[in-house]
Amino acid sequence: MAAAQYPHLLAPLDLGRTTLRNRVLMGSMHTRIDTQDEPVRRMAAFYAERAKGGVALIVTGGCSPNQEGLIEPGAPVLETEEQALHEHRPVTDAVHEAGGKIALQLLHAGRNGKIDTLVAPSDIRSPINPRTPRALSTEEVEQTVEDFVRCALLAEKAGYDGVEVMGSEGYLVNQFVAERTNDRTDQWGGSAENRRRFSVEIVRRIRERAGPAFIIVYRISAIDLAEGGSPFEEISALAQAVQDAGADILNTGIGWHESVVPTIAYPVPRAAFRFAIARLKKSVRMPVVASNRINTPELAEEILASGDADMVSMARPLLADPHFVNKAAEGLPQTINTCIACNQACLDFAFAEKATTCLVNPKAGREIEFPVGRAKKTLKVAVIGAGPAGLAAATEAAKRGHSVTLFEAAAVLGGQLNLAIEVPGKLEFKETLRYFGEQLKRLGVDVRLNTRATTKGLAEEKFDEVVVATGITPRQLHFPGIDHPKVATYIDVLTGKVEAGHQVAIIGTGGIGFDVAELLTSPHPASHRETPEEFFEDWGVDTTPESSTGLKEMNTKQPGRRVTLLQRSPTRPGERLGLSTGWIHRNRLRRRNVRMLSGCSYDRVDDAGLHITVNGLPSVLPVDTVVICAGQEVNRTLADDLIAAGLKVHVIGGAHVASELDALRAIDEGTRLACSL
């Protein structure tokens, strides 16, 4: 039985002033859902769905206590009673009706804001923001503390169960704490005690003026991973000081946004940074929350059982599956739609100033757009192709009550997802395959593997609707020597059919070109799950408490292979990679001495290697292997035949448009199409 499976995860937490129903806190996310039409209705539906799904305490996306703290123009701010009642009350009511608790995150962006009137403790510019902040005067610091308190009291009026003071990731509160960003000489700077005064005063005054049941969460940076960051002894002293000032829960953040070490994307091993949280827990009596790359109930349970933390924070995993906690409680962890830490539809969307959603769950943040429940009429639906588009379409159509048959020519489900798994660090995609496989089984979809659907067969079975998700084929290139034995496709290399030589040229610098370069220069096979220790060695993370930065030299050990990535365009290679992950790839490949060439034309391949011309200058790369990663073309022969035969056909995914097809678009199209049937 489930509670026995996850006894620590599902145990209530008595905070004294109130009790939380289990140990899962939904971490704050900058979703930008509020930038769409009907923002209040959307936010209420988004958070209520997660409350229904069993999470104990939701922390909202950041809300600024004043205009100077906005993270971007138009970002959420809470300054008036009218805002509390009209913009927030419907959200807290919806969460409470669904049985949950919700805290408002108080986020002042300080020097990280994308606004022109930036303020900070000192006029020191962030390396990731072109704007230089203005240093707050002593009186203004005092006023800012009061703004935090006013915002917390308004949150209480709006029905929130508490607030989270955002003191990590290098935002304003954290900027006061660290010497890196605070060179003030008044009582708000200088000694460590003065630098933590801002945090302590905010917590102390909220505690004094809010009601006795009001929860105060303080989110601390457990390790800064930045030069001039706080040493552990200062972090520990800060934790104790906010505890003494009246905080109830210590949530944790890892690294500043400007840190050069990845902290949440898929290359980070699961729960890699728990060491920083475990040592902090020893400093305080209040419950401590572990965060970053915790995405399964097994791992959460193990962290809690080990005593490293008292709660776990999951943010993206609850975008991916709002019912994560209930599924764990029901003993059905295999039915959880697991966050794969790709960042493609959450962080990357937010960075691109779009409302976030989730690659594996396109309904996230768009709850009000999708129909709920079964379709009025049950249809007989054929889905052809079990890649991400077909899997999503078949699953969703079956959920809608249709009778679904899924045809797949290969022996296994997954299509291109099976290739992604072959890339180092992308084993998380296995979870997506497990999820869909489980759904198909539970929903009774008739899965026909090793079966190539034919027009005649489909017509004979009299399907009402046929969904063609036959995917893509790799683009064939045409230049002299393209059939030379040195030339291989990315599929050949990723599946191990071809073993690349010591000198390799990769034609194409899209996501797949970079993935192949990662594989060919990795010290590990794709099936290897990097350990935290290996990750720390590679990225230069110093885990000793004496380190004030958490940083040391990154690994620059050269791989046994020399790889060159080439593209025709004059732009910077990898420019179109995800904003939150592209820099990770570029950094790692640079350290592995991978050469990147733009503006190439490909002349020929022969025994001497790959002949190219760059800026009018011909040269030859003396390579053993040339891997073609030049994008894809549509695969819609079957679709055209079916349409000609008069069947009711819907073409989705790569079979519809091959250009820039990825799992994000494939799953989105599959889900939406099924919802329209």
Residue ranges binding ligand NAP (CB under 6 A):
344, 475, 477, 507-513, 515, 567-569, 578, 629-632, 660-662
CB 121 within 8 A of CB 185: no
Q: Between residues 150 and 316, which has the closer beta carbon with respect to ligand SF4?
A: 316
Tell me, residue by residue from 360 to 389, as one string, x for binding to ligand SF4 by CB under 6 A and - for no binding: x-----------------------------
CA atoms in the 13 A half-sphere facing the CB of 163: 29
CB 450 within 8 A of CB 634: no
CB 390 within 8 A of CB 396: no
The residue within the footprint of ligand SF4, chosen from 32, 108, 219, 316 (CB under 6 A), is 316
Question: 3-class DSSP state for residue 412?
Answer: coil
Kindly state the smallest distance separating residue 295's Cβ from ligand NAP, in Å: 18
The residue within the footprint of ligand SF4, chosen from 64, 126, 296, 343 (CB under 6 A), is 343
Respond yes or no: is residue 171 known to be catalytic: yes
Residue 344 binds to ligand SF4 (criterion: CB under 6 A): yes
Residue 341 binds to ligand SF4 (criterion: CB under 6 A): yes
Q: Is the dihedral of CA 354, 360, 363, 364 positive or negative?
A: negative
CB 593 within 8 A of CB 557: no
Q: Between residues 409 and 477, which has the closer beta carbon with respect to ligand NAP?
A: 477
Out of ligand SF4, ligand NAP, none, what residue 341 binds, judged by CB under 5 to 8 A for its kind, is ligand SF4
Residue 358 binds to ligand SF4 (criterion: CB under 6 A): yes
Q: Between residues 43 and 663, which has the closer beta carbon with respect to ligand SF4?
A: 663
Binding window for ligand SF4 (CB under 6 A); candidates: 214-222, 352-360, 523-531, 563-571: 352-360
Rounded Cα distance between 397 and 415, Å, is: 19
Q: 420 — phi, psi (to 5°)?
A: -55, -40
Out of ligand SF4, ligand NAP, none, what residue 509 binds, judged by CB under 5 to 8 A for its kind, is ligand NAP
Q: Between residues 344 and 439, which has the closer beta carbon with respect to ligand NAP?
A: 344
Q: Please count the other Cβ atoms lying within 10 Å of the Cβ belonging to residue 374.
A: 11
Nearest to 48 by CA among 313, 362, 331, 368: 368
The residue within the footprint of ligand SF4, chosen from 290, 359, 506, 610 (CB under 6 A), is 359
Residues 6+ apart with CB under 8 A from 517: 506, 563, 565, 589, 594
Kindly state the smallest distance separating residue 634's Cβ from ligand SF4, in Å: 25
Q: Token pair of 30, please? A: 């900058």
Out of ligand NAP, ligand SF4, none, what residue 563 binds, judged by CB under 5 to 8 A for its kind, is none
Kindly state the smallest distance separating residue 343's Cβ from ligand SF4, in Å: 5
Q: Between residues 221 and 357, which has the closer beta carbon with respect to ligand SF4?
A: 357
Kindly state the smallest distance separating residue 486's Cβ from ligand NAP, in Å: 16
**Bridge partners (DSSP) listed for residue 315:** none
Which spans in 101-231 are helix H? 138-157, 172-177, 192-195, 197-209
Q: 242 — phi, psi (to 5°)?
A: -70, -30
Tell me, residue by residue from 535 to 564, as one string, x for binding to ligand SF4 by CB under 6 A and - for no binding: ------------------------------
Give the position of tokens 């200088």.
Answer: 190
Q: Between residues 167 and 425, which has the closer beta carbon with respect to ligand NAP?
A: 425
Out of ligand NAP, ligand SF4, none, what residue 661 binds, judged by CB under 5 to 8 A for its kind, is ligand NAP
Which position's Cβ is nearest ligand NAP?
A: 510
Q: Between residues 134 and 475, which has the closer beta carbon with respect to ligand NAP?
A: 475
Out of ligand SF4, ligand NAP, none, what residue 359 binds, judged by CB under 5 to 8 A for its kind, is ligand SF4
CB 160 within 8 A of CB 100: no
- Calculate helix-pair angle for 197-209, 232-245, nearest 10 degrees: 20
For the chain, give the number of residues: 677
CA atoms in the 13 A half-sphere facing the CB of 570: 1
Residue 340 binds to ligand SF4 (criterion: CB under 6 A): yes
Per-residue HEC secondary structure of 529-556 comes to CCCHHHHHHHHCECCCCCCCCCECCCCC
Residue 204 binds to ligand SF4 (criterion: CB under 6 A): no
Residues 6+ apart with CB under 8 A from 606: 480, 481, 484
Out of ligand NAP, ligand SF4, none, what residue 319 binds, judged by CB under 5 to 8 A for its kind, is ligand SF4
Q: Which of 47, 160, 171, 490 is catalytic?
A: 171
**Bridge partners (DSSP) listed for residue 487:** 626
Q: Please count the other Cβ atoms lying within 10 Å of the Cβ belonging to residue 263.
A: 21
Kindly state the smallest distance separating residue 357's Cβ from ligand SF4, in Å: 7
Give the position of tokens 């943010």.
Answer: 315
CB 384 within 8 A of CB 468: yes
Which spans in 335-387 are helix H? 347-351
Q: Between residues 29 and 223, which has the closer beta carbon with respect to ligand SF4?
A: 29
Rounded Cα distance between 523 and 367, Å, is: 43
Per-residue HEC secondary structure of 204-220 comes to HHHHHHCCCCCEEEEEE
Kindly state the smallest distance separating residue 292's Cβ from ligand SF4, in Å: 12
Out of ligand NAP, ligand SF4, none, what residue 345 binds, judged by CB under 5 to 8 A for its kind, is ligand SF4
Kindly state the smallest distance separating residue 214's Cβ from ligand SF4, in Å: 30
Residues 6+ apart with CB under 8 A from 331: 1, 2, 5
CB 322 within 8 A of CB 329: no
Residue 339 binds to ligand SF4 (criterion: CB under 6 A): yes
Kindly state the smallest distance separating residue 190's Cβ from ligand NAP, in Å: 45
CA atoms in the 13 A half-sphere facing the CB of 131: 17
Residues 6+ apart with CB under 8 A from 76: 34, 61, 62, 63, 64
Q: Between residues 161 and 662, which has the closer beta carbon with respect to ligand NAP?
A: 662
Q: Between residues 27 and 246, which has the closer beta carbon with respect to ligand SF4?
A: 27
Kindly state the smallest distance separating residue 293's Cβ from ligand SF4, in Å: 10
Residue 263 binds to ligand SF4 (criterion: CB under 6 A): no
Out of ligand SF4, ligand NAP, none, what residue 339 binds, judged by CB under 5 to 8 A for its kind, is ligand SF4
Residue 345 binds to ligand SF4 (criterion: CB under 6 A): yes
Number of residues engaging ligand SF4 in binding (CB under 6 A):
14
Residue 319 binds to ligand SF4 (criterion: CB under 6 A): yes
Kindly state the smallest distance separating residue 353's Cβ from ligand SF4, in Å: 16
Q: Please count the other Cβ atoms lying within 10 Å of the Cβ belonging to residue 427.
A: 18
Q: Between residues 163 and 630, which has the closer beta carbon with respect to ligand NAP?
A: 630
User: For binding to ligand SF4 (CB under 6 A), which residues are involved?
Assistant: 316, 319-320, 339-346, 358-360
The catalytic site residues sit at 171
